[in-house]
Amino acid sequence: MDISRFFSNNPFLIKPPSGGVSGMIDVKVVPLLNWAIALSALVAVVMLIYGGYTFMTSAGDPDKVTKGRNVVIASIVGMIIVFLARAIVGLVLEKMSEGGL
């Protein structure tokens, strides 16, 4: 299985900018950012599942209900932050490749 094909076709990952930016960004930084995005999304999904499990198995215990709800909220906020950061970094790299920065 060729894992690079997954990263090249995934619309949620940062694409290397075309021209104008040093080769180090294309070769080192963009793949590192793509792995960080994938890992962050995976951790957020696992935490979302954990929070849902804690909430569902609370059996009415207010402490467990609160803990489960807080974990779910934190994991959703974390996913939003990761994807907003991805959008900002993608925008900055795009502007750098156009020579705007």
> What residue ranges do the domains of the chain occupy?
23-98
Nearest of 2, 32, 1, 3 to residue 16 by alpha carbon: 32
pTM of the model: 0.68
Q: Which two tokens stand for residue 21?
A: 């930016």
Q: What is the pLDDT of residues 14-62, one digit of tens each?
A: 665 555 555 656 667 778 888 888 899 899 999 999 999 999 999 889 9
Cα 16 from chain centre? 17
Where are any strands of DSSP class E within the chain? none
